[in-house]
Amino acid sequence: MPEPETTPTDWSAAAAALRPDPRPWIGGRRVEVDTGRGFRSENPATGATVAELPCCGAADIEAAVRSARTAFESGAWSQLSPRERGRKVRAFAEQVRAHAQELALLDTLEMGMPIANALGDMQEAGGHVEAIAEMADKLLDEVIPNDPSAWVLNIREPHGVVGAITPWNFPAYIGISKVLPALAVGNSVVLKPSEIASLSCLKLGELAAAAGIPDGVFNIVPGLGGEAGAALALHKDVDVLTFTGSTATGRRLLEFSGQSNMKRLILECGGKSPQIVFPDVADLDRIAEAIVGGITFNTGQVCVAGSRLLVHRSIADALVARVVERARAVEPGDPLQESTGFGPLASRGQLERVRSHVAAATEQGAAMLLDGTPASAGGACFWSPTVFADVTPGMRVAQEEIFGPVLSVMTFDSEDEAVSIANGTIYGLTATVWTADLGRALRLARRISAGAVTIGADPTGGRVDATTGAFEPHRQSGLGVEGGLGGLRSFTRLKSVTFKP
């Protein structure tokens, strides 16, 4: 059992004492790379440099893929019994718990997530990995009973080398939850984390080694998307690419697969999730609370954020007044204070993206009920909750993913109209329906095009429970299954074996 860390009382002091290692992890150790070029990660709460990282490229990706392939072919991991792999995955969960504070602090520094949320994320990640460990030996093969003179088996085997490309919004959590299912079923992995926040993911290699996962099975290479990410996506010896990020990048990865080796893709991309509120609901205060939580958690930088409020015209004024009042009370704070619940946006690029979407909404005629523009943020990336009413479904603010604390309010008069607006974007990630009418709830659960539909529960944070439920995005929110046993199955392929004496 690894030693637990002692909890810092002063997170700023703990941050100042950190010496994060920016080097890639290949073949079970940190390696020196001489790329001649680097990139900087920046603390969005202060503008200060957190680390200088190497711009790894095709040669480093090549070394990592070779290391992963050699480890896979050796059988040291791929041929281990699933139960034994499960034990080591559980040991990895213990490592995550033991290093939760360092992982959380790295994410807070690089992308501004409040430290209390980042710590919560690592608790959740530990539980998620434990669940994966329990599932490792539960993928049962099948015997097909169609020929009494033969045994026809459908067996599942690991693909080989899995590439993983991750975003910055939950850096360590998404890194862990993408990689561990692939490892649990015997694959080797090369992970390319986001250039905005790579340090927590780079730390995961050491945790894997301490958990007894053999050298070369898990490799991590930092770098820019268009360089290291593209090299991984175009590599001909990568069998599967699992990706979380924007729909635009997801589309590029489909092209790269076609241009290289038709590698399988699992894509978890963007969303513009609706919150649909019918007039039969009882408690508008609770719903307003949940809606504000859903658009302000992680400063709105959540793929499943409920960024479109669709409310029945008869209750729109009453609900929107409550939403605005609560959103106005959400104050940005220093992410290194444990009392802070709302931090800055993750980067200057993200700040500019939010600013331009807000300007476009105003230009297109949406009514700004709450202005989140910061008075003066210095070098920091703060932006407060912003609410637009009089939004029509065709406006950019109703169609495009903003990835910030910006809520668009639209009204409807009938169930059909609500469904039509809800389904009227390119996305189909999640949706929440607030109604007391069970028949309506069941109808909408089927009619709404989304990978996950929540009926009247608190969507704060909105994250799908990936430990138990499998999830498959609709339309341009992605493709392939993540979460639960289905998520493990995504990292295996089916083989038919016939015994016919």
Contact 144, 75 (CB under 8 A): no
- The minimum distance between CB 202 and ligand NAD, in angstroms, equals 13
By beta-carbon proximity to ligand NAD, the closer residue of 158 and 473 is 473
Coil, helix or strand for 407? strand
Residues at the interface with ligand NAD (CB under 6 A) = 165-169, 192, 194-195, 225-226, 229-230, 233, 244-246, 249, 252, 268-271, 303, 401, 403, 429, 478
Name the CA radius of gyration of the chain, rounded.
23
Instruction: Let me know if 268 is a catalytic residue.
Output: yes
Nearest to 288 by CA among 328, 313, 319: 319
Instruction: Let me know if 130 is a catalytic residue.
Output: no
- The minimum distance between CB 302 and ligand NAD, in angstroms, equals 7
- The minimum distance between CB 357 and ligand NAD, in angstroms, equals 13
> Cα-flanking dihedrals φ and ψ of residue 479, to 5°?
-155, 150
Active-site option among 268, 400, 401, 472: 268
- The minimum distance between CB 375 and ligand NAD, in angstroms, equals 26
- The minimum distance between CB 478 and ligand NAD, in angstroms, equals 6
By beta-carbon proximity to ligand NAD, the closer residue of 121 and 334 is 121
- The minimum distance between CB 161 and ligand NAD, in angstroms, equals 16
d(CA 409, CA 388): 6
Report the half-sphere exposure of 480 (CA within 13 A, side-chain side).
Answer: 21
By beta-carbon proximity to ligand NAD, the closer residue of 28 and 270 is 270
DSSP assignment letter at 372: -
By beta-carbon proximity to ligand NAD, the closer residue of 403 and 491 is 403
By beta-carbon proximity to ligand NAD, the closer residue of 64 and 269 is 269
Q: In 10 A of CB 348, how many CB atoms?
A: 14
d(CA 489, CA 442): 28
d(CA 129, CA 184): 10
Place of tokens 């609560």: 326
By beta-carbon proximity to ligand NAD, the closer residue of 136 and 233 is 233
Q: For residue 361, what are the CA distances in angstroms to 145, 430, 439?
A: 60, 23, 36
Active-site option among 130, 303, 472, 482: 303
Strands 386-389 and 406-412: parallel
312's tokens: 């029945």
Active site residues: 268, 303
